[in-house]
Amino acid sequence: MIFNTSPTDIIKIRRSVRTYTKKAVEQEKKGIMREVLDNLRGQYFRFDLIDFQLEEGMKLGTYGMIKGASTFIIGILNKELMDDYDAAVEFGYAFEGIILKATELGLGTCWLGGTFNSKDAMKMIALKDNEQVVMVSPIGYGGNIRGFEKLTRKLSKADQRKPWKELFFHKDFNTPLSIKEAGPYADVLHMVRLAPSASNKQPWRILKSHKTYDFYNVNMPTPSNKKQKFMMSFNDMGIAKAHFDYVANEKGLKGQWLKKDDIKDESFTYVGSWEWHNEVEDTH
């Protein structure tokens, strides 16, 4: 994704917007967003943009309530990959790029896990047999935060992120990573910490080990943790990777993503690693 503004600045101003004004998204901005969506089309997922007037009481997402929106980004996944962790991570990575691009254009967004309960909206999306809508985000101009939106933010503690020492570790999960040990990656990790996540659960844990930052998901499937919720925690992991990637790139930190094959998942699920290039190691 190419941004014209600093990703750090975009990440800092993004927040979920659930109340929208009547002001329509300009055609020019829709055109930019359509181009972004086309470029992000992957092997297993694609994105669409539809204009659709949300009616009073129409449900979207798994919680919260969206008001007034009339343009939506739709995330569509191949049905066969509904249970695939890697696909969910990749999807999350791509969708967060879209969210940050919309934020750069001055548009409000809100990740909404699930689909429309409206036949009219679904007709506009024209799904193929093997496709399913898994994520939706309104795009538009945010209005005053009203009672129910305030309540949603309060219930999901939307403005509170876990402290650094509960998210980032060094060598093992008993040892928090110090800001000094993070070196040039401290700014990157600060921006991972601001990532949105389903119900603001922040399931990401990152372990600095030899030459890599290893990404783990702490959410575990339990009877009370329904499958859809569990899969969304892998979307959250993709979002964390996106923030890491964009900010590392902004800071000129070079590296590559890989998946180690010698990591045994214990209490957490390993999703992948960032291996930094040697020139960073000297100052790291």
Ligand X SMILES: Cc1cc2nc3c(=O)[nH]c(=O)nc-3n(C[C@H](O)[C@H](O)[C@H](O)COP(=O)(O)O)c2cc1C
Smallest distance from ligand X to CB 258, Å: 24
Smallest distance from ligand X to CB 152, Å: 6
Please give the C-alpha separations between residue 164 and each of 68, 156, 179, 205, 206, in angstroms, as whole numbers: 36, 19, 9, 10, 10
Smallest distance from ligand X to CB 186, Å: 21
| CA–CA dist 95, 113 (Å, integer) | 12
Segment 27-66, which members bind ligand X (CB under 6 A)? 61-64
- Helix, strand and coil in the chain, % to nearest 5: 40, 25, 35
Instruction: Pick between residue 69 and residue 253 the one whose CB is nearest to ligand X.
Output: 69
Query: H or E element: which one contains 230?
Result: helix 227-250
Smallest distance from ligand X to CB 104, Å: 16
The per-residue b/e assignment along 181-200, b for 16 or more CB within 10 angstroms, e otherwise, is ebbebbbbbbbbbebbbbbb
Smallest distance from ligand X to CB 78, Å: 18
Segment 4-33, which members bind ligand X (CB under 6 A)? 15-16, 18
Please select the residue that binds ligand X; options are 7, 68, 108, 113, rule is CB under 6 A. Answer: 113
Tokens of 83: 């249970």
Specify the stretch interacting with ligand X by CB under 6 A; choose among 38-46, 122-130, 194-202, 257-265: 194-202
Helix (H, G, I), strand (E, B) or coil at 207: strand
Segment 216-255, which members bind ligand X (CB under 6 A)? 232, 235-236, 239
| CA–CA dist 76, 62 (Å, integer) | 17
Smallest distance from ligand X to CB 156, Å: 4
Smallest distance from ligand X to CB 283, Å: 31
Please select the residue that binds ligand X; options are 58, 122, 124, 158, rule is CB under 6 A. Answer: 158
Tell me if 117 sits within 8 A of 58, measured CB to CB.
Answer: yes
Please select the residue that binds ligand X; options are 196, 203, 255, 272, rule is CB under 6 A. Answer: 196
Instruction: Pick between residue 21 and residue 62 the one whose CB is nearest to ligand X.
Output: 62
| CA–CA dist 91, 67 (Å, integer) | 26
Q: Is 67 in the site for ligand X (CB under 6 A)?
A: no
Segment 138-157, which members bind ligand X (CB under 6 A)? 152, 156
Q: 3-state SS string over 84-114?
A: CHHHHHHHHHHHHHHHHHHHHCCCEECCEEC
Shortest-Cβ-distance residue relative to ligand X? 64
| CA–CA dist 48, 34 (Å, integer) | 8
Smallest distance from ligand X to CB 67, Å: 11
Contacts to ligand X by CB under 6 A: 15-16, 18, 61-64, 110-114, 152, 156, 158, 196-200, 232, 235-236, 239
